[in-house]
Amino acid sequence: MATEVLKTKAEQELAQQFETGMPNLPGSDVGWTKAMREAAWQTYAAAGLPHRRVEEWKYTDLRALLKDAYPPAPALGEALTAENIDAALGEHVAALDCHRIVIVNGHFREELSDLDGIGGQVEVRSLSEALSDPSDWLQNTLGQVAPQDGDVIASLNAALMTGGVIVRVAAEAKLEKPLHLIHVAAVKDAAGLATRNIVDVGADAAVTLLESYTGHGAIPVQRNAVTELVAGDKADVHHIKLQNDNAHTAHLSTWMTRLGTRASYRAFQFSTGADVARNQIFVQFAGEGGLSHVSGAVLSRGKQHDDTTMVIDHAVPECESREFFKLVLDDDARGIVQCKVNVQRDAQKSDGHQIAHGLMLSETAEFDSKPELEIFADDVVCGHGSTSGQVDEDLLFYLRARGIPEPQARALLIEAFIGEALEKIERDDVREAFSALTSSWLKGE
Amino acid sequence: MLEIKNLHVKIADEDAEILKGIDLTIPKGEVHAIMGPNGSGKSTLAYVLAGKEDYEITEGSIHWNGEDVTEMEPDERAAAGVFLAFQYPIEIPGVATMTFLRTAMNALRKARGEDELSTPDFMRIVKEKAKELGVADDKLKRPLNVGFSGGEKKRQEILQMSLLEPTLCVLDETDSGLDIDALKIVADGVNRLRGDDRAMLVITHYQRLLNYIVPDQVHVLSDGKIARSGGKELALELEESGYAEFGEQAA
């Protein structure tokens, strides 16, 4: 006799959404899209929402954290102006000189976007349209860039996604200004959002892709955002995320990246918003001589929970991976960094190193760091390190002895701590914007 | 005028006294040297003057210009004109030297009710003082003291002292780790700051520094008390006889 696994309220609501909502999802009348969604749903449903007994989720028990599954957000969302978008981004990020690609509740909003001067180099298309008319390329790409078998969040996303964009950067294109994907949640009532970006960077192309996740207003949101990114041979990609969702947001984010031969991938995630955030980053080396440097800064306070979980897969020889994260945790905040580095049997001369530092500003903050190395090749260099501590009293005394009052001295040291992570961002304009966000955060803004 | 009366100090959370009743007066315009064997309490005195929280004053008082500084926070003491040149200047990764200097200068100006420095004024003053002390431009661009040699760190301390223009300068073993050329540069920097409005307390283990910074008075600290005081010739005498009579065993 088969026993039915007891589903939580949120899981039951998700099942209801899928059953009744399927006909309204983009591409539901198209065979390939429908089959893809159903297969993804099955993968999700076999496991349900992840909980603490699933090793990868031991610190982030979604089954406990998500009491309800909010109904899907209306596709069009609120009517927003360019000023609303700037306000949602905040002055420092809004001031960045970028090609803007604005996505409100998953819907690509061309009238709010600014793609002047990139014709012939970059093609941007709405994913919801593409799902209704899936090209061979899409069928061969979606969900297959760096597949994570059984990742329930990415599967749930594939089953329920309503939109996002496809960005294709032509081979050898060199873009001066960043492409800024601005994902804004704009809802009247508590809502769920499932969006996906597919980014295809051609061989020898150079591009900075900045993704901002933010909200218009303070209505609770459950966001499930996926970005699949292919970097072609010798492509040079800077991939940066700003997570500044409103304080009532559950932010689930998954990056799946595949790197071609001698491709260079420098990723950075700056996380300061949301109530609960799970940032998944999966990088797969598919060609020899690739480079992946993934870094990030996390600023959390109150009861915020921020989990960054990475899996770096050295599938081929002679690739270099670095992970460097810094977290500032105040009040009852909890920060988590997990990073698993796989070195496969043939991946000789792999070079991997990961570091995570937590700076605790209160007695009740918590930092969990879990490095994992799985090495099957015998000629590799791999290492890891992690520290957690408080603001150094000797440094504080030195600054105060020079006349700097304690709160200012403390802020200077925290900025310096985060600054070492921000240094990993090669673009001065983005680094300075994030530095300004850090200063604002320290002032409680 | 600096007036220290019957100062008793112990490390917080410990019982043993380090300073056991110090009486010391330094009028403005004078430079006093404190010499003494290792472990006699020289650095403790320096830290207590600057307000380090690891120490507890159990008895006695410290007045600077008539103000009781013992209840002041370290930054309040700095605003009142107290400056400690550290024996071991600290490296602060991620804090650019220029940002630090500017923050400190403006914090002191603010505490004294003065306007902040404009960027050009700030740059001009720093470049001028840095040149006098032989501090290279590239050192100013780096994070504070990170990767600096011992001598470079000591020069940074004196640069900070020249920029912050304190009225009570406490130099804790500023000569340690310096070769003779660096010692001369640092001593010149200190001598430029000598003046009628300033009192200086120069702490050193060796007499050598006092050839370049000539003190008005020399005090010997031994086992937490001032054991002897005298003129500058006392330093030479100590150089001859060592600290044996003050309780330090010959090596």
Domain ranges of chain A: 9-287, 392-445
Rounded Cα gap, residues B114 and B18, in angstroms: 39
Structure tokens at A183: 């994902």
Note whether A335 and A368 are within 8 A (CB). Answer: yes
Please give the residue that has the higher pLDDT: either B177 or A227.
A227
| Digit-coded pLDDT (tens) for A344-357 | 999 999 999 999 99
Nearest CB neighbour to B84, from listed A401, A405, A412: A401
Provide residues of B within 8 Å CB-CB of chain A: 50-53, 73-75, 77-79, 83-84, 86, 89-90, 92-95, 99-100, 103-104, 107-108, 111, 143, 160, 164
Rounded alpha-carbon distances, angstroms, from residue A59 to A6, A63, A238, A263, A272: 22, 12, 29, 33, 19
A203: burial class by Cβ within 10 Å (0-12, 13-18, 19+)? Answer: middle
Rounded Cα gap, residues A248 and A219, in angstroms: 7
Taking the Cβ of residue A230 and every Cβ of chain B, the question of whether any pair is shorter than 8 Å is answered with no
| Digit-coded pLDDT (tens) for B165-174 | 999 999 999 9
Rounded Cα gap, residues B244 and B221, in angstroms: 13
Q: How many domains does chain B have?
A: 1
Domain holding B85: CATH number? 3.40.50.300
What was the pLDDT predicted at B137? 87
Shortest CA gap A94–chain B (Å): 26
What was the pLDDT predicted at B251? 39
Write the DSSP string, A248-271: TEEEEEEEEEEE-TT-EEEEEEEE
Residue B219 belongs to what domain range?
A: 2-90+166-246
Residue B11, domain member (yes or no): yes
B34: which DSSP letter? E
Shortest CA gap B104–chain A (Å): 6
Rounded Cα gap, residues A200 and B125, in angstroms: 52
Contacts of A441 (CB under 8 A, 6+ apart): A272, A299
- Other Cβ atoms closer than 10 A to A202: 19
Taking the Cβ of residue A402 and every Cβ of chain B, the question of whether any pair is shorter than 8 Å is answered with yes
What was the pLDDT predicted at B100? 95
Tell me the one-letter amino acid at B116.
E
Determine, for residues A394 and B90 on separate chains, whether the beta-carbon distance falls below 8 Å: yes
What was the pLDDT predicted at A77? 64
SS3 B166: coil
Residue B79, domain member (yes or no): yes
pTM for this structure? 0.92
Cα–Cα–Cα angle for B27, B31, B37, rounded to 5 degrees? 115
When the pLDDT of each residue in chain B is averaged and rounded to a whole number, the result is 92
Residue B242, domain member (yes or no): yes
B241: burial class by Cβ within 10 Å (0-12, 13-18, 19+)? Answer: exposed
What was the pLDDT predicted at A3? 47
Note whether B8 and B19 are within 8 A (CB). Answer: yes
Rounded Cα gap, residues A250 and A441, in angstroms: 20
Determine, for residues A400 and B53 on separate chains, whether the beta-carbon distance falls below 8 Å: no
Nearest CB neighbour to B75, from listed A400, A417, A420: A400
Rounded Cα gap, residues A130 and B95, in angstroms: 49
Q: A-chain residues within 8 Å CB-CB of B51?
A: 400-401
Determine, for residues A406 and B52 on separate chains, whether the beta-carbon distance falls below 8 Å: no
Candidates B88, B212, B93, B205; CA nearest to B150 is B88
Determine, for residues A395 and B90 on separate chains, whether the beta-carbon distance falls below 8 Å: yes
What was the pLDDT predicted at B249? 47
Taking the Cβ of residue A432 and every Cβ of chain B, the question of whether any pair is shorter than 8 Å is answered with no
Determine, for residues A406 and B78 on separate chains, whether the beta-carbon distance falls below 8 Å: no
Residues of chain A with pLDDT under 70: 1-5, 76-77
Cα–Cα–Cα angle for A32, A38, A39, rounded to 5 degrees? 90
Give, for B139, the enclosing helix (H) or strand (E): helix B137-141
Note whether A391 and B68 are within 8 A (CB). Answer: no
To test the contact with chain A by mutation, choose from B99, B103, B169 the residue with the greatest count of A C-beta atoms within 10 A, namely B103
| Digit-coded pLDDT (tens) for A103-142 | 999 899 999 999 988 888 999 999 999 999 999 999 999 9
Q: A-chain residues within 8 Å CB-CB of B53?
A: 393, 397
Determine, for residues B108 and A403 on separate chains, whether the beta-carbon distance falls below 8 Å: yes
Nearest CB neighbour to A401, from listed B74, B95, B99: B74
Determine, for residues A412 and B51 on separate chains, whether the beta-carbon distance falls below 8 Å: no
Shortest CA gap A56–chain B (Å): 33
Nearest CB neighbour to A412, from listed B90, B103, B108: B103
Q: A-chain residues within 8 Å CB-CB of B52?
A: 397
SS3 B190: helix
pLDDT exceeds cutoff 70 at B248: no
Tally of CA atoms within 13 A in the half-sphere of B225 that contains its CB:
7
Rounded Cα gap, residues B54 and B11, in angstroms: 6
Segment 161-220 of chain A within 8 Å of chain B by CB: none
Residue B222, domain member (yes or no): yes
Rounded Cα gap, residues B203 and B210, in angstroms: 10
Taking the Cβ of residue A412 and every Cβ of chain B, the question of whether any pair is shorter than 8 Å is answered with yes
